[in-house]
Structure 1
Amino acid sequence: MDSIASTSLASLWDQVSGTQPDPDLWVVIATLVAALAVIVPHGVWRVSRNTITIAHEGGHGLVALLTGRSLSGIRLHSDTSGLTVSRGRPTGLGMILTAAAGYTAPPLLGLGGAALLGAGRITLLLWLATALLVAMLVMIRNAYGVLTVVLTGGLFLMVSWLAGPQVQAAFAYAVVWFLLLGGVRPGFELQAKRRRGGARDSDADQLSRLTHVPAGVWLFLFHAVSLCSLLAGAHWLLPL
């Protein structure tokens, strides 16, 4: 019995950690177009942006834990805003890194995903994403947030377990394109809001108060991370 269980676990690990063949070029291009189709139109973006918010708040939460802060909870709202509450020193490097992690998390996750896809690790990407969503679910503190994360995690789990290799590849590429491209837009939206006199308690403004560096400099950092991640990720995703 133990031998059968060990064999099954070894087989599962080989499946997860192994490599899968790259999809055809037309699949890569089609997933790129699909990602743009849910990012560019404003009406569709109002819904799809929820996924970027999950990555944004997850970035705050993960870095808070990595820097020794105590994570109290995460809330996701229907207007695509979110809130991550952590306890610890109100100033210092840990707080700065935690505040900076939000806008940089989606493009950096997309970049990491592109690196895995470039190495042919499609199944590993899907399982890692599912694991991160499950871990985040534990810290969600409102009903809408739970619903959003459960639906997103359920979709990843369903594709990971039930879909064939071609569907898994197309889904993985679409997700990574979405993170890379969708990670660019929020920085420009924040810049536009600040230009109109709004969003004065944004991550950039909090970072400005923590570091005495102008919020515009932090906005430039958000843009630089998202655009560089997009360019590097596209290099891995497109078989040029």
Structure 2
Amino acid sequence: MIGYSPERNDDYVAVSRQAIEGYIVGFEPLANADRVHHILLFGCTEPAHATGFWKGGETCSGTTHILYAWARNAPSLDLPNGVGFSIGHESDNIRYLVLQVHYAQPFAGDVKDFSGVTLHLTQKQPQNLAAVLLFVSGESIPPARSQVQINVSCEYNQPTEMHPFAFRTHTHGMGRVVSAYYKHEGQWNKIGVRNPQWPQLFEMITTNPVIRKGDLMAATCRFDSHDKTKPVAMG
């Protein structure tokens, strides 16, 4: 970030940089949860604005890929050997990187924020290309319940096998448990489960799951809305 001081609650800003040709093999966050709610890094064909810095939730124009997410003082992420995110090549359509920062509230006093992410790159093409698969539910959370479970699922319809190597959760303060599974030949298999109030890191998966065309992928989120009096869109 370029030295920004949030002006309101839930303030979103973004910066863009032209992507150099290479492969990202590590992410080193430069942020603190006392100031920043979350950081998202996108790979874009074009940024939402050509100014290099803008306010609001817009990120990309055209093709959009989530490359990295940070929240709750998560540590650095080093990808497994032989794995990397392709950027800056004609084949990946990532010509720009856009860093979005979400500030939950204004700072006290005259304080400016310089949060960001240091990328570790290599020019050597890895054996496996990485990507982020995002599960999102638009369902609102009803109030006055100690447990609310929201489920999402879809069938994987691509011919390329997927090998999940890390699992990450994200909710706001009402989230209690987030879990992910896949169903292959009638049998459910766990991908990961984690408390979203812990540091929201990419937790490595040790079971070596393989998701194939026709498998069902599913996620479940459990929330606590006991102290709410009306439905909540994002908990």
* TM bucket, shorter chain: under 0.3
TM-score, structure 1 as length reference:
0.22
Whichever structure has more strand as a proportion of its residues is 2
TM-score, structure 2 as length reference:
0.22
